[in-house]
Each structure stands twice: as structure tokens, then as C-alpha cells.
Amino acid sequence: MNVASMVNAFGGGKLFSCKENDENSHSNFSVSEASVSNSVVVSSSAAANLVMLGAGYFCPLTGFHNKDDALSICEGMRMQNGQFWPVPVLNLLRTHEGISEGDVVALKDPNVEDCPILAYQRVESVERLTSIEMERMTKNIFGTLDKKHPGVETFLSQGPVLISGDVLVLNYSFYENSFAGTFVTAGQIRTAFAQRNWQKVVAFQTRNPMHRAHEELCKIAKNELGADGVLIHMLLGKLKEGDIPANVRDSAIRTMVELYFAENTAMVCGYGFDMLYAGPKEALLHAVIRQNAGCSHLIVGRDHAGVGDYYSPFAAQEIFHSELVSSAYEIEIFEADHTAFSKKLNKVVMMRDVPDHVPEDFIMLSGSRVREMLGNGEALPPEFARPEVADILMAYYQGLRNI
């Protein structure tokens, strides 16, 4: 088995990145100091987009979308050239002062001390979004205009000036140093699959620690699909307040895989992106990311990429059912049901697989109840969390209490 036998990169071609000096780079320009006209500190969202472009996860894009493409994507999930794309990739600023069409601009990293240069952008256009256009975009991406939605709040805070154009990414921000051994590029994942002789791979997206239900869901999907392995792919970027930090999640997940997964059945790694909490639209983006990483399947479960009550429980599965969406991907979706611990069977099950059960046969805990228990120093039940994982989470929450 070799890399070529995996699914194609999204869009049907070969994987490429926008990273300088990457053997898979497809950047459309090079930069000399003399050609750079100005510099600007970008938003964390734009910086995350640059990391994803540099790491090959947003292939076949070569830079930031312009207004026409952004509006077309929001309203019909296609760019002006007809290419399917679920969520616009934007560099939004509050002002365009010092930036003009045709410039090459240094984009500085807001998430690293002293804001070093993260990338260069060749400016195709400088456009201002009207308040009506910002509302249309927001509504189409997030399904709501409610500023209590963390994704909406972040999106609207960036500014109305849209800077489009190709990029040349210099580095991966703080991810390589802060998450050495965990942060990897799409190309590196493909190489790792080839080295493991994995061809059929099911991906599991997570921004949370993995409890028993998540663990068993990965195993159920692998077994039902006859997959060679599971890619446990965690988001390493910014989250909403109250979510567990990436370093704690990384430790908890690695401990679980080491102790409770058979050897060479699961690969743990992460990617550098800020969570959108965009529900169905973000699920589509997750599928793009995993296809670029060489996965054949993606687990999409209840309230995938959601927050609060903004999306119906299985909206992220339903969006893949349309002809427009299903025809755009080579990666396939594994639709997961609610998972819970069955007292009858003494194991975690998908609830659709046990029609003879009644509600009293299950042990279920909400995420908020779990956080409350951990914050109060209460042990999590073994039906919910592996003891070694519970210990890591308990230590984190107890540390918060002692601050």
C-alpha cells in the first residue's frame, strides 16, 4: 500500500499545501524583503486559517476568499468557479489602512509573543462587507445571529474589511512547539498511514477528552467498517470558555489509547484550528480536513461541532444527505447514534442497536454534570470514564479550584 492508494485530496487532485519549503507546496509566489509593502497583525481566526492552509488541510485552496466567493459559499456552498466549499476562509480586518490591491503584505501572528510573521499574502482585493452582508454570512455559517453563540461573537468581532489573495505560509504558529509530537500536517498523516499499511481509516473529531462512549464509538465504527485503524484527530486551537485545554485533552486521550486500544489500531494527533461551533457547516469542513488527511470515513455523531441548543441533534448528519454535498466528497460518513452504558449488557452501546432497552437500562451523564462532578472533586463513575482518564481530568479541575 502507498500514499497514492488512499482517497484523493479534496477536490479530486493530489494533496498540496501553501507552506514555504514544503515538498508538497503549491504556493503561487515567492517573497523578498524588498517586495513587502506593509505588515498587519491578523485575527486568531485568520491565523488559524493560515496554519490550515500551510498544513494542507484546506487543499485545494491557495489563499483567502474574496467577497464574491465568500457570499457564494455562504449561500450555495460553491465558489465562483463551481468548486464545492462549505465555509469561507477569510482574512477579516477592522481597517485596510496601508493595504492596497497588488501589495504583498506580511501577516503577523497574534498568538505568539512579539507577533512574528506567520505568512505573506499577495493582495488580490480589498473589499468592505456591509452590515447586511456580514449578517448574511453569519446566518449562513452559524444558523443564527445570536451573539451569545461563541462562533458568532468571534466572527463579528474581526471587522468588515476582507483581504483576499494567495498566501505563502512560513510556519505553523505555536503548534509545533506547544504540541510537539501531536500537531501534524495532512501530508504527514498520509505518510504515517502508508507506514502503518492503513488504507481504510475512520476519523474521529474531538475538542473534548474522550470518555467511554467516545472510545467505544471509535471501536464500533472501526469494526463495522472493517477499517485498518482510527485517526483520533483533536482540535488544538482556541475554544470557548469552560472547555478543557488541549494539553489536558492530549494527555487524557493518549493515556486512554495506550491502555485500552489494541496496538496499531489508533493514531492520536492534532491540527491547528480555532473551533467555530458551527454545527452542520463545520461538520462539512471536518470532512474536507479528514479527506485531505487521507481518511476514508469520518464519524459524525450527535450534535457534531455544535454548542448549546442552536442545532438539532442530528443536523450535522442530515446535511450530508443532499446530492450537492454527497457528490463533493470521496470520504464517507459513519452516522453515529446516541451512545450510553447499558446496564443490561455491561458495556457502552449505540442506543439504536438495543431496541429492547428502556431508559432505565442506560447510564448517561451530561457534559455539564461531568464538569460539575469534577469541579466538586466527585469521582466519575467507571461506566462513564476510564479511571486513568478520570484521574487526569480530576487533577486539572482540582487545580482550577486551588487557583
Please indicate whether residue 208 is annotated as part of the active site: yes
Question: Which is catalytic among the residues 196, 208, 254, 302?
Answer: 208
Question: Which is catalytic among the residues 66, 91, 171, 207?
Answer: 207
CA separation for the pair 269, 276 (Å, rounded): 19
CA separation for the pair 368, 10 (Å, rounded): 36
Please indicate whether residue 190 is annotated as part of the active site: no
- Which residues participate in catalysis according to the annotation? 207-208
